[in-house]
Amino acid sequence: MRQWFFFLCCVLPLLLLAQNQVNLELWYKNHIVKSVTTTHKVVALTFDDGPHYKTTPKILDVLKEKQVRATFFILGVNAKNSPQILARELADGHELGNHGYSHKHLTEMTKENVEQEMSRTEEIIMALAPKPVIFRPPGGFFDKKVLETAEEKGYTTVLWTIDPHDWARPPMQKVVNEVLDNIKPGSIILMHDGQYPLPTPEAIVYVIDNLRQQGYEFVTVSELLQYSEFEKVRHSYNIYNW
């Protein structure tokens, strides 16, 4: 009798808690893109936190010279006074994604405030372009509330495969090596353009040249999603690597 009491009071709650955690992790996996499973040598170069009036034009110059299209996750507070940079990103064929407005951790906000963060940046982008369809939470911080809000607003939540921490201003070669050492087909590369100075404009020159020598092609995130080779499960997209 005591054994059953111990099981019901101590063991069973722990088992249920563990199962709930597993279920939540599985739910997260089906609602977040970190990479695409594909045999095609395609990767997506992405930039967070911009635009910045010094850094972003330097990056755009490199991308134009190399004829690479990338995805910029726009931070509203930085974009509100830089419509000309957003216009250039669009004119150069790049994709714009939503990165929220203030870069505050959305997990610490109410659902209403999370929606406002997305909507304010959405309005800035839509003054120049159609509504964005991809969203990246600031800092990569998310919970079920954040993911559900993004989905309700028509977004696919996108994180990344490789983070060279360029925002911390490491030596340029360290940024390059981190990308080249971890690249694989379907990777999403995280970079930043919201600060100055950054090693990023110089680093992407070497990243692009080296990956092209390896046979890689650069595509936008939305294009990358179409390369998945697994059964489609949501938003016409596929199951992605975690």
- Please check whether residue 17 lies inside any domain of the structure: no
- Whether residue 9 is contained in a domain is answered as no
Residue 72 has pLDDT above 80, yes or no: yes
CATH number of the domain residue 40 falls in:
3.20.20.370
Q: Which of 31, 48, 49, 166 is catalytic?
A: 48
Residue 134 is assigned to a structural domain of this protein: yes
Tokens of 13: 């709650």
Supply the pLDDT for residue 201: 98
Q: Give the tens place of pLDDT for each residue, 1-38.
A: 555 555 445 544 543 443 444 444 544 557 899 999 99
* Cβ burial, residue 40 (10 Å; 0-12/13-18/19+): middle
What is the predicted pLDDT for the residue at 228?
85
92 is catalytic: no
**5 located within any domain:** no
pTM: 0.86
16 domain-assigned:
no
Taking the C-alpha atoms of residue 183 and residue 178, their distance in angstroms, rounded to an integer, is: 9
Model confidence pLDDT, tens digit, residues 60-70: 999 999 999 99
Whether residue 143 lies in the annotated active site: no
How many domains are contained in the chain? 1
Strands, E assignment, the chain: 32-33, 42-48, 71-74, 95-98, 134-135, 156-158, 188-192, 217-219, 232-234, 237-238
Cis check for the bond before 83: say yes or no (omega within 30 of 0): no
Domain that holds residue 64: 31-238
- Asked, for residue 3, whether it belongs to a domain, the answer is no
Catalytic residue of the set 52, 99, 103, 192 = 192
Q: Is residue 20 part of a domain?
A: no
With respect to residue 4, please indicate whether it lies within any of the assigned structural domains: no
